């Protein structure tokens, strides 16, 4: 069985509103989140990856201060 991190694909996303779905967190691939009002984009994110993203997203949220 191949690890989930192998075969990683790079994507570019123009981010919109994001929200966790009502689906329970999957023990391997994490929480499913949806983006956009029509929930056209779904993403699974693990707690570890979410922690890595937080500092980057906080910097973006602060703007050019």
Domain ranges of the chain: 18-62
pTM of the model: 0.60
| pLDDT of 57 | 86
| pLDDT of 24 | 92
Q: What is the pLDDT of residues 20-61, one digit of tens each?
A: 889 899 999 999 888 876 667 888 889 998 898 888 888 888
- Alpha-carbon distance values, 54 to 36, 51, 58 (Å): 20, 5, 6
- Alpha-carbon distance values, 16 to 26, 45, 46 (Å): 23, 16, 20
| pLDDT of 1 | 47
CA neighbor of 3 nearest in space, from 46, 57, 35: 46
Q: Cβ distance 31 to 45 under 8 Å?
A: yes
Q: Is 53 helix (H, G, I), strand (E, B) or coil?
A: helix
């Amino acid at each position: 069985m191949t690890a989930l991190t192998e075969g990683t694909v790079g994507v570019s996303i123009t981010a919109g509103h994001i929200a966790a779905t009502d689906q329970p967190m999957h023990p391997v691939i994490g929480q499913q989140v949806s983006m956009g009002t029509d929930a056209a984009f779904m993403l699974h994110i693990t707690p570890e990856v979410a922690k890595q993203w937080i500092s980057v997203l906080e910097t973006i949220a602060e703007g050019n201060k």
